[in-house]
Structure 1
Amino acid sequence: MSVIPFSQALRERTWSGHGESEGAGFMHDLMTGKGTREDYIALVVQHYFVYEALEAAARTFEADAEAQPFLSDQLTRMPALEADLVFLLGDDWRAQITPLPSTEHYVARIREIEAEGWSGGFVAHHYTRYLGDLSGGQAIGRLMKRHFGFETNGILFYLFDQIADPKAFKETYREQLDAATWDAVERERVIDEVLVAYRFNTEMFEDLTAAKAAA
């Protein structure tokens, strides 16, 4: 009997969570042209807080042997997010933004993992965000360009100029997952944490929908 590679098991075991996240009503409206420019800005704002925490954690894990293979400056999103927010909200954007409750919980979980020094948990969140950005995120960027007339300003977050071949990059990333030295118990913990990350993402979309309805 052949052994299923960990990257394949991870993808298959978490696919339902991914589907729930992608299928959230807020993103459906945004992708189909029913959402507004303000809706898109609200999403960018929440991404800012998540990636601020994630990329701070990445610096903490730079010297960690298990996390280090997954770290790449080519993935860094914070400069792009900051430039997008300047374009979308103006130079005083920092004074205009606040995290939603679900985003605060998401950020708190990433910081908790960082404080614990749990590299497997960090990789779970890293995998969930960045491989998503290199996959469905590319389609989101193109649709936002079409719906709102963006060129590059406003959608820099979705543009990975330093990654010439996203497909090859993702394949290498999955090979690194397969090569990780985690035992069976740790691999289960990583899979569980990816599901946690998807749940946070879904809750963030739900909060965005509620905030829109209350506006």
Structure 2
Amino acid sequence: MALLSVDLKEGTKTVHAEAERSKFVKYFFKGEITPATYGRFLISLYQVYSALEKALEENKDNANVQLLYFPKELARKEALEEDLEFFNGPEWREMLTPVSPAQQAYIDAIERCSKTKPELLIAHSYVRYLGDLSGGQILAKKLQKYNDLPEGKGVAFYSFDQIENATAFKDMYRIRLNQVEVDEETHQAIVQESCQAFIRNIDIFQEFDHELEGLPLTKKEQEALAAVPIETAAAESTGFLASLAPSNLINSLAVAVGLKSNA
């Protein structure tokens, strides 16, 4: 059986690239996501992380989930609450309902994993947290640059104060991934669930397409964006996804939200 960290990276390449080509991500890197739209996007992230962190807590005694459970270092819910109040005001909780279709589908997927096969939560953790951790500083700078944010405000989501060395932490995380002990069927199911997590992120991005100004990406633009290595794009654009699935927010936006998810 191949290493899980390797299979996750290789198995999610295609859908990862698709997430990076989303309209939302393109506009985020150009600084054309308004604070109001970003504030609503944070609501989507909050729904996802609330479900994920609740599920991880409920399954923390599962031997395999426990390997990748770092609530002190990685949990994002409280940080999101801080940013939500900054962008949306003190009444931001009123924006949690109604839950959008893409948000609900993501929540349902996490809850299904939690109740039927907790090992699959590893896929969601991988896509979200490694992406957030990898691209957080870049994305924070983008937000601050284009929105003239006060120092340290509105970017708590991208701040991992409990992690001294992000590179060392990610290396350790990959080692833990490779220590997961599951049969081949579950191994492949984790990879497939990671792909689905990317798709869930794309679906959330698309809920904001109607708010984005300008023309849709042309075929030429899509090909040009796809041809740029992730590392180069991040360096030149000074990235969600979320995110994601993970090396920058493209994944986290593609999440963290953060998000090269297949880092």
Q: Structure 2-normalised TM-score?
A: 0.76
* Paired residues, number: 210
**Corresponding residue for 1:192?**
192
**Corresponding residue for 2:160?**
160
Structure 1 residues 150-209: Cα deviation after superposition (integer angstroms, max 9, x where no partner) = 222211001111111111111111101111111222111100000000000011101121
Per chain length, whose mean CA-contact separation is higher, i.e. which structure has more relative contact order (CA < 8 Å, sep 6+)? 1
Distance 1:110 1:210 in 2: 27
Higher helix share: 1
Distance 1:25 1:45 in 2: 19
Which sections of structure 2, spanning at least 5 residues, go unmatched? 214-263
Is the 8 Å Cα contact of residues 30 and 39 (structure 1) preserved in structure 2?
no
Is the 8 Å Cα contact of residues 140 and 155 (structure 2) preserved in structure 1?
yes
Deviation at 1:36, TM superposition (A): 1.2
3-state SS of paired residue (1:29): helix
**Corresponding residue for 2:137?**
138
Distance 1:29 1:177 in 2: 33
Distance 2:155 2:21 in 1: 21
Deviation at 1:19, TM superposition (A): 1.5
3-state SS of paired residue (1:192): helix
**Corresponding residue for 1:172?**
172
Is the 8 Å Cα contact of residues 74 and 163 (structure 1) preserved in structure 2?
yes
3-state SS of paired residue (1:173): helix
**Corresponding residue for 2:48?**
50
Residues 1:21 and 2:12 are matched in the alignment: no
**Corresponding residue for 1:102?**
102
Is the 8 Å Cα contact of residues 70 and 176 (structure 1) preserved in structure 2?
yes
Distance 1:137 1:206 in 2: 22
Distance 1:100 1:141 in 2: 26
Return 144-153 or 42-51, whichever deviates more. Answer: 144-153
Percent of aligned pairs with the same amino acid: 32
Residues 1:62 and 2:29 are matched in the alignment: no
Residues 1:38 and 2:36 are matched in the alignment: yes
3-state SS of paired residue (1:163): coil
Is the 8 Å Cα contact of residues 52 and 78 (structure 1) preserved in structure 2?
yes
- After TM superposition, the runs of 4+ consecutive aligned structure 1 residues lying more than 4 A away are none
**Corresponding residue for 2:223?**
none
Which sections of structure 1, spanning at least 5 residues, go unmatched? none
**Corresponding residue for 1:91?**
90
Root mean square deviation of aligned Cα: 1.6
**Corresponding residue for 1:120?**
119
Deviation at 1:28, TM superposition (A): 1.2
Is the 8 Å Cα contact of residues 86 and 93 (structure 1) preserved in structure 2?
yes
Distance 1:6 1:85 in 2: 34
Distance 1:179 1:200 in 2: 27
Is the 8 Å Cα contact of residues 68 and 173 (structure 2) preserved in structure 1?
yes
Distance 1:210 1:106 in 2: 20
Deviation at 1:212, TM superposition (A): 5.3
1:39 aligned partner, one-letter code: T
